[in-house]
Every structure is written in structure tokens, then in C-alpha cells.
Chains A and B, each alone.
Chain A
């Protein structure tokens, strides 16, 4: 009896992922929406968001050239975005001291699907955030708007876990005091 040819299950080896060339256009296409969304939640103003996105990508090519793993790219972009937002907020505060421009409203900042109560709350929260120190505002927004873990907030803010917790708690206290008129 001739033995039947032994069947072997051959698992196809997936082809090695094609390494995409790291060009500015490619980076921008892939990540600009992400950077823009993060900057939006941290800053709340469209004009600032545009500046930050361009600043981040102006830095990106040089900063990312050394990074072989593209998985690092998103983390690097997030960290640089946070850093640029911090700078933008400080510049905004300095400019506010010199220029008595009228207060900007945040009525259209909530997601379109949000109900009127949420839209009102988002608007009031961002108006109150404008009066907080920049580093506290950033930490709070990363935690409660971007939805990052406290550990990730510490990484993105380049501070210790304790400092991140302290900043978030301080911002929360101040916001609660400013918005504390309505206690349930």
C-alpha cells in the first residue's frame, strides 16, 4: 500500500509589511487629523489648532527621522503636540495681558451629536479652563476630554505620575469652584 502523500498544513507567512517612506506628505496625510483632534481638545480654538498642527509637522521630519518603528510615531507626535499646545496657551495668556480682545465663546466646541446640556457644559468648562495655569489645563484636558489614563498624562506632560495627579486634581478643584453654582 502506497502511503498517501502526507498532508502538511502550511501556514502562509504574511509578507513583510512594506516599509513606507517617511515623507512629510505621508505623515501629514496619516496623522494630521489625529494631531488636529488632540490640539482641538487641549486648546479649544480653531485658529490655534491650525498653528499647532503646522508647528508639529514642521518639527516632525527632523524628529522622526531617527525613529525606525512607525508605532513610535504616534506617541512622538502626541508628545510634541502637547508641548506645542502648552507653549501656545502660555503665548495666548501673555497676549491676553497685552491685548484686551473680547472673550471667545466655545458654544460650537461640543460634538454635533451632543445634546444642549452637554454643549452648554463644554462651553462653560472651556471658558473656565482659559483661567487655569496652562500645565494644569493640559493635564486635565488630557484626562477628562482626551480620555487618557493618568499614567499616559504623565508621559505626555513629561512629568512624574504624582505631578500629573496633582495638576489634574488642582484643575478639577478650580473648575468645581468656578462651575460650582449648580450642585446636584
Chain B
């Protein structure tokens, strides 16, 4: 037993009062003075807090070369694609985020229906409806927008459109490319409007009656139900890039990534000229990597960067390719990809990892 415990066993410690009445000044006056001081301190603290919140949320922040990525107040992330990219966050509040982009960046936006997330590139405004997407300014002055997941609304002087997962395009769109929306192109072009629904008789004749069910479920975000519906009639998936990408998204997002491989591969191989093909190849790489197939994943990443050499996914595809080759035990291929990365992006986000692969 310590001294203290022994002492406490006999009763409370004996401590004297330190208070003594402060003097002749009336208590009311002393207390009023104290109250005013306390109110003034509270006001100062509240102002300081407001200023701090204002600085955090309202003042423009600039993310430039060398910063790599920007994290927004809600956890959304922008990864800069090129060394000369600049992202100016003009507003970042709980209800609204507005950024101005010069160059290219990939955005992963935390879904929040009550928050507007907007990126402006030149005269093009991309408003996010909960998604992952890339924006890249091209020398023509247009902005290349590519949606990996979810939807975005793209607006420019004279038009507005909504892009779904797998869709992309140059904005403002060139008039010629809008005339032939379905024509496959070697590089991503203007967005296609949603294909018109075939007449009921035609759908019945083609054996896809009722097949809109899984498409509608997917568009509504109910991927689990869409997957169930899709499995009832997998033959209802049309052999076009949009339908194949949608079915792949349904498989991935409902927790069946292995069922996404076939449609993604089909887009890469049978629709390699379609603007969705690079995204399909990149997504295929990620799916295969997650499934523990690094060699096949590396080949898919390689395909993604080959299909769109100057695209916003190229840097990530190249680094992932090198990493996947390394894990597959293909050292020479890994070193070649890492070397290609460093030649192209010597100060890129993954430069350190690539140097590690090269052992430099």
C-alpha cells in the first residue's frame, strides 16, 4: 500500500480554500467585466474559426507540376496527367466544388447527390454526377473527356450532353463527327447520343424482348439486380462496344469481375477502333490484376496505351504494366515498360516506383 492509499483510507485529503474575496470593488462590476471579457474572447475565437474554415474551403488552391494529385474536401481526388498540368480549385465547399483545369487530369469523385463537382477546361464545363473520369486539353483547344464509371454532364457553348461509363469525346464536338456517331474511329471522337430504342416488334424478333430490364437496372445503379436479369439472357448483350461495356460494368460492380473479362476483351479485340476500347483495355487490366493474373493484366495495360498513346490513361497504364510484368516474373518486359515510362514521364507520379524496378 502506498502512502497515498494509506492516507486516503483515513478520509479525504485536507486542502485549504484558495479563494478570498478580491476587495472593495462591487462583485457585480467585477463579474460584468469578466463576462464582457469572456464574450469578447468567444467572438475572437469564433472569428478565428470562421477565417480558418474560409481559408480551408473558399480560397482558391492551385495544384501544379510536381504536386501529382489534389484531394478535395470530400475526399475526391484529381490525379494530374502531365507535368505541365495546372488545376486551380476555385471553390471547394460541402455543397459545391469548382476547378479550372489546364492540361489533363483524372478525377475520382466521391458520389454525393447533394454536392456539385464541376471541372472547367477552357470553354467546356464537365459536371459530375458521381464517377471516375478524365479530362485532357488537346492542342486544338478542345477538351477530351473520358468516363470510366458513372456519368458526367458535359456542357460547352452551344450544347450539353451526358456521358455514361465507357463513353468519351472531344468537346466542343466537331460538326463532322456528330454526323456519324456510330462510325468507329481510331481515336476517341465526339460522344454518341444514346441509341434509339428499337421498336417492340423488332426487339421481339431479335429475341431481346424484355432485355431492356438489365440495362434500365444498370442505369439506375442497381447492378446486383441488373446482373441477375442479365444472367437470365446473356445472349441479349449486343455485339457493340456500348452494350459490351455496360454488361462488363454490371459484372464488375455487382461483384462478378470474372464475368467482365469476356465483354471487355471483346471490346478491345472486335471494336478496337471504338473510342471505348482504350478504357475497356485499361479496365480489363485492372480486373485481371485483381484476379491474380498479372501477365494477362500487363498485356491488357499495354493494349490500353497502344490504343490511345497520348491519352490520359497512358501514364497509369504504363506504370501498371511495368508493375504487373514485374509481379509476373517477366523482368525484361517490366524493365522495358519502366524505361518507357521514365523516358516519357521523368518526373511522373510513378517515377520512383519505376526507378525501383530498374534498380536505379
Interface residues of A (CB under 8 A from B): 24-25, 28, 32-33, 35-37, 39-41, 44-46, 49-51, 53-55, 57-58, 109-114, 118, 121-122, 125, 144-147, 175-176, 179-180, 182-184
23 contacts between A and B (CB under 8 A): A25-B28, A33-B19, A36-B20, A37-B17, A37-B19, A41-B15, A44-B15, A54-B34, A55-B34, A55-B38, A58-B34, A109-B15, A109-B18, A110-B14, A110-B15, A121-B4, A125-B13, A146-B12, A176-B5, A183-B1, A184-B1, A184-B2, A184-B3
B22 close to A (CB within 8 Å): yes
| Contact present for A176 and B15 (CB under 8 Å) | no
Given contacts A121-B4, A184-B1, contact A57 B27 (CB under 8 A): yes
Expressed in whole angstroms, the Cα–Cα distance for A176 and B7 within the complex equals 12
Expressed in whole angstroms, the Cα–Cα distance for A157 and B145 within the complex equals 58
Name the CB-closest residue of A to B27.
A28
Contacts of A50 in B (CB 8 A): 19, 22
Give, as a whole number of angstroms, the nearest-CB distance from A52 to chain B: 9
| Contact present for A144 and B19 (CB under 8 Å) | no
| Contact present for B2 and A122 (CB under 8 Å) | no
Contacts of B12 in A (CB 8 A): 144-147
Interface residues of B (CB under 8 A from A): 1-8, 11-22, 26-28, 30-32, 34-35, 38
Given contacts A36-B18, A50-B22, A122-B15, contact A179 B4 (CB under 8 A): yes
Give, as a whole number of angstroms, the nearest-CB distance from B320 to chain A: 45
Expressed in whole angstroms, the Cα–Cα distance for A36 and B21 within the complex equals 9
Give, as a whole number of angstroms, the nearest-CB distance from A35 to chain B: 8
| Contact present for A121 and B13 (CB under 8 Å) | yes
Name the CB-closest residue of B to A27.
B27
Contacts of B35 in A (CB 8 A): 58
Contacts of A146 in B (CB 8 A): 12
| Contact present for A24 and B4 (CB under 8 Å) | no
